[in-house]
Structure 1
């Protein structure tokens, strides 16, 4: 059975929650209906914040994930029967710390994953930083990982998500600068060297510089927004193409995850005060992967978040 996921990348300017909910309902009654809908970073809290102080922004938008906003997002996903990534929210934890957090709701309205941005855009993004890599399973499809904007510039993050079994990396973005030009090849490179799908959805003008993309496991851009326009990009992600690229090679001639053999000694990595151990280099794979596309070596389905394939 094929693992085809209908994906909608919503490149839109920042909105109020009411505008967001109305727009999402409209999209789900149109050709833009999808199984998984992804919005840009900070989509629900960046409207008009340029006139507010940091304290005012937090007072207006920061709340626990199980607060009123979270309940409303879950109810919306359940109402429409979709997987929903509404961009990121400002999460306030029990001790009052505030994080830029990506959240994922399943079609039952349950919060199934939350990821606190690790590589915040310093000094312009003064929130607290996360320390955990996050993947989640989508039954019937496969496994996805979460990445936020500037995270894509650090190859360690996408590499860890792939090692933990992510077949699709969802990179939600709010880039209002010319730096979006660099983010396009960066996301292609992350897809190529890890043999994963990468969906990078940026905001539209005037909030951000657009140019949202979906990149396949061999680095080809499958769909893209030409510029800063308000547009919904709807396409299909074939999760089996990840396993196929790894089995048959990128362009039929490159197998980056199969470089090391059992006889190789560990490769020391002074930068990380660690090493690559050939015995643990192979990434985990989704239980949804067809038997015909699974590697011949022993299969690992789970990777603890605290472990690392390159440390």
Structure 2
């Protein structure tokens, strides 16, 4: 048995002075939980704590804001999740990796104040984003609720990303977004498509103006639009999800018909995937479709 999961998606603008005002985000989160005391999972958009000041070069912000995940910022975030007794996804942050590279990373903190997951963006938006690419698909378990997967913005455009998370058992995928451009319309369609073809919940959380154009959405495992925020303004999008519904849809099929996780005959041989050669290889991918 699983419990219903009340979620909050904080469609907000980035905190441009987060490093100078470390208590500001804590006050922001406390305000949301006071207004919505039932929320158990609270999430923020991509790079919410690492916003670029107007006219500032992203590389300057990256260098100034990058910290190891177990640095001072991580310590404060863990303490905040413990104080409020919530699952906290503070958006993604610039992570200073042990290899010397900077990653766009989404950490997750449990109500016990522990970092239970951290996902590095696999598909930075080249050539505009210069963070290093992650290489691991990440899910985490919320005891009593279900399993959640993580993606960041452009990852949603690559169906392999959400498919791997679904294969790893994700009932809900959080897609943390910072899109200020007109292609947010396509991202909303992709949220529905990823939900439909993988039979899971999708929560696509975009930043508010001026960092994003809003339109955050929650989509059910049969593609139904459950909730949608407005275009631009700051708001908190809330919903209550029964994550067991995703498992029911996978078992019985979309509309009781389509079972995408059981499509093969018992005697069907394996299907080779020549594009991947058993893996996603950047050089092979860059070569495009074979003639």
TM-score normalised to the size of structure 1?
0.85
1:62 lines up with 2:71 in the alignment = no
Q: For residue 162 of structure 1, what is the aligned residue in structure 2?
A: 166
Q: Secondary structure at the match of 2:275?
A: helix
Post-superposition shift, 1:95?
A: 2.9
Cα distance in 2 for residues equivalent to 1:153 and 1:59: 27
Post-superposition shift, 1:32?
A: 5.8
Q: For residue 283 of structure 2, what is the aligned residue in structure 1?
A: none
Cα distance in 1 for residues equivalent to 2:135 and 2:2: 34
**What aligned pairs does 1:1-311 form with structure 2 within 5 A after superposition?**
1-15=1-15, 16=18, 17-31=22-36, 33-48=38-53, 50-52=55-57, 54=59, 56-274=60-278
Post-superposition shift, 1:176?
A: 1.1
> Pairwise CA RMSD of aligned residues?
1.4
Describe the superposition over 1:84-143 as per-residue Cα deviations: whole angstroms up to 9, x where unpaired: 000001000123210000110000110000011001000110010001111111110111
* CA gap 1:49/1:264 in 2 versus in 1, 3 angstroms: farther
* CA gap 1:96/1:45 in 2 versus in 1, 3 angstroms: same
Cα distance in 2 for residues equivalent to 1:53 and 1:161: 29
Cα distance in 1 for residues equivalent to 2:133 and 2:163: 19
Q: Aligned pair count? A: 274
TM-score normalised to the size of structure 2?
0.91
* CA gap 1:144/1:49 in 2 versus in 1, 3 angstroms: farther
Cα distance in 2 for residues equivalent to 1:122 and 1:8: 30
Q: For residue 282 of structure 2, what is the aligned residue in structure 1?
A: none
The 8 Å contact of residues 32 and 232 in structure 1, kept in 2 or not, is answered as: no
Cα distance in 1 for residues equivalent to 2:66 and 2:12: 22
Cα distance in 2 for residues equivalent to 1:154 and 1:52: 27
The 8 Å contact of residues 37 and 85 in structure 1, kept in 2 or not, is answered as: yes
Q: Secondary structure at the match of 1:253?
A: coil
Q: Secondary structure at the match of 1:9?
A: strand
Cα distance in 1 for residues equivalent to 2:252 and 2:111: 34
Post-superposition shift, 1:241?
A: 0.6
The 8 Å contact of residues 174 and 203 in structure 1, kept in 2 or not, is answered as: yes
Q: Secondary structure at the match of 1:181?
A: helix
Post-superposition shift, 1:33?
A: 4.3
Post-superposition shift, 1:261?
A: 3.1
Post-superposition shift, 1:172?
A: 0.3
The 8 Å contact of residues 195 and 246 in structure 1, kept in 2 or not, is answered as: yes
Cα distance in 2 for residues equivalent to 1:113 and 1:264: 37
Post-superposition shift, 1:247?
A: 1.9
Q: Secondary structure at the match of 1:270?
A: coil
